[in-house]
A and B are shown apart, each in its own frame.
Chain A
Amino acid sequence: MTSRIGVITFPGTLDDRDTQRAVGLAGAEAVPLWHRDKDLKQVDAVVLPGGFSYGDYLRAGAISRFSPVMETVIEQAKAGLPVLGICNGFQVLTETHLLPGAMLRNNHLHFICRDQKLRVENASTAWTADYEAGQEISIPLKNIDGRYTADERTLDELEAEGRVVFRYLDGNPNGSLRDIAGITNAAGNVVGLMPHPEHAVEPLIGTGRTDGLGFFTSILKKLVGA
Chain B
Amino acid sequence: MTLDTVKHATETPESAQPWAELGLKEDEYARIREILGRRPTGAELAMYSVMWSEHCSYKSSKVHLKQFGEKAPENDALLVGIGENAGVVDVGQGYAVTFKVESHNHPSYIEPYQGAATGVGGIVRDILAMGARPVAVVDPLRFGAADHPDTKRVLPGVVAGIGGYGNCLGLPNIGGEVVFDACYQGNPLVNAGCIGVMKHEDIHLAKASGAGNKVILYGARTGGDGIGGVSVLASETFDDSKPTKRPAVQVGDPFQEKLLIECTLEIFQEKLVAGIQDLGGAGLSCATSELASAGSGGMRVELDSVPLRDATLSPEEILMSESQERMCAIVEPQHVERFMEICEKWDVIATVIGEVTDGERLEIFWHGEQIVDVPPRTVAHEGPVYQRPYARPDWQDALQADDAGKLPRPTGGEELKQQVLQLVGHPNQASKAWITDQYDRFVQGNTVLAQPEDAGMVRIDADTNLGVALATDGNGRYAKLDPYAGAQLALAEAYRNVAASGAKPLAVSDCLNFGSPEDPAVMWQFAEATRGLADACQTLGTPVTGGNVSLYNQTGETAIHPTPVVAVLGVIDDVTRRTPIGFAEEGQLIYLLGDTREEFGGSAWSQVVHEHLGGLPPQVDLERERLLAEILISASRDGMIDAAHDLSDGGLIQALVESCLRGGTGARLVVPDALDAFTFLFSESAGRAVVAVPRSEEVRFTDMCTVRGLPATRIGVVDGEEIDIQGEFSIPLSELRTAHEGTIPGLIA
Contact = CB atoms under 8 A, between A and B. Distances in A.
Interface of A: 11-12, 14-15, 17-18, 21, 51-52, 54-57, 110-114, 140, 142, 144, 196, 198-199, 201-202, 204-207
Given A11-B259, A11-B347, A17 B167 contact: no
A134 B258 CA distance: 39
Most A C-beta atoms less than 10 A away, residue of B347, B436, B437, B576 = B437
B149 interface: no
Given A18-B443, A142-B167, 11 more contacts: A14-B170, A15-B170, A15-B445, A18-B444, A55-B254, A56-B168, A111-B163, A112-B437, A113-B439, A113-B442, A204-B578
Contacts of B22: none
Contact of B575 (A11, A15, A113, A204): A204
B17 interface: no
Given A52-B168, A55-B168, A111 B438 contact: yes
Given A12-B259, A54-B255, A196 B442 contact: yes
B164 interface: yes
A130 to B, nearest CB: 20
A141 B170 CA distance: 14
Contacts of A51: 170
Interface string B164-194: 1001111000000000000000000000000
10 contacts: A11-B255, A18-B444, A112-B437, A113-B437, A113-B440, A140-B442, A142-B443, A196-B442, A199-B442, A205-B445
Nearest to B462: A21
Contact of A55 (B253, B437, B441): B253
Nearest to A114: B437
Interface string B380-422: 0000000000000000000000000000000000000000000
A12 B168 contact: yes
Across the A-B interface, the 9 shortest Cβ-Cβ residue pairs: A55-B255, A14-B170, A18-B445, A52-B168, A199-B442, A140-B442, A111-B438, A206-B442, A142-B440
A17 B438 contact: no
B459 A111 contact: no
Interface in B310-347: 346-347
Contacts of A54: 255
Contacts of A52: 167-168, 170, 254-255, 258
B217 to A, nearest CB: 20
A30 B553 CA distance: 51
Contacts of A144: 167
Interface residues of B, number: 33
B255 A57 contact: yes
A12 B258 contact: yes
Contact of A204 (B164, B170, B448): B448
Nearest to A56: B168
A152 to B, nearest CB: 30
B446 interface: yes
A170 B437 CA distance: 17
Nearest to A140: B442
B545 interface: no
Nearest to A200: B442
B438 A110 contact: yes
B445 A198 contact: yes
A17 B444 CA distance: 7
A126 B440 CA distance: 28
A30 B455 CA distance: 33
B113 to A, nearest CB: 13
A37 B442 CA distance: 29
B447 interface: yes
A52 B166 CA distance: 11
A206 B458 CA distance: 10
A56 B165 CA distance: 12
Contact of B443 (A14, A21, A110, A207): A14
B39 to A, nearest CB: 45
A110 B575 CA distance: 31
Contact of A205 (B168, B170, B448): B448
A77 B576 CA distance: 40
Interface string B284-303: 00000000000000000000
Nearest to A57: B255
Most A C-beta atoms less than 10 A away, residue of B254, B258, B347, B436 = B258
B445 A17 contact: yes
Interface string B242-257: 0000000000011110
Contacts of A207: 442
Given A55-B168, A206-B447, A12 B255 contact: yes
A15 B443 contact: yes
Contacts of A57: 255
Contacts of B576: 204
A30 B507 CA distance: 37
Interface in B90-122: none
Contacts of A112: 437-438
Nearest to A207: B442
A86 to B, nearest CB: 12
Contacts of B347: 11
Interface in B258-281: 258-259
A15 B446 CA distance: 12
A172 B210 CA distance: 60
B692 to A, nearest CB: 17
A207 B441 CA distance: 10
Contact of A111 (B258, B346, B440, B575): B440
Contacts of B448: 204-205
B440 A205 contact: no
Contacts of B444: 14, 17-18
A109 B421 CA distance: 31
Contact of A113 (B160, B441, B445): B441
A57 B438 CA distance: 19
A206 B445 contact: yes
Given A55-B254, A56-B168, A205 B437 contact: no
Most B C-beta atoms less than 10 A away, residue of A142, A196, A201 = A142
Contacts of B258: 11-12, 14, 52, 55
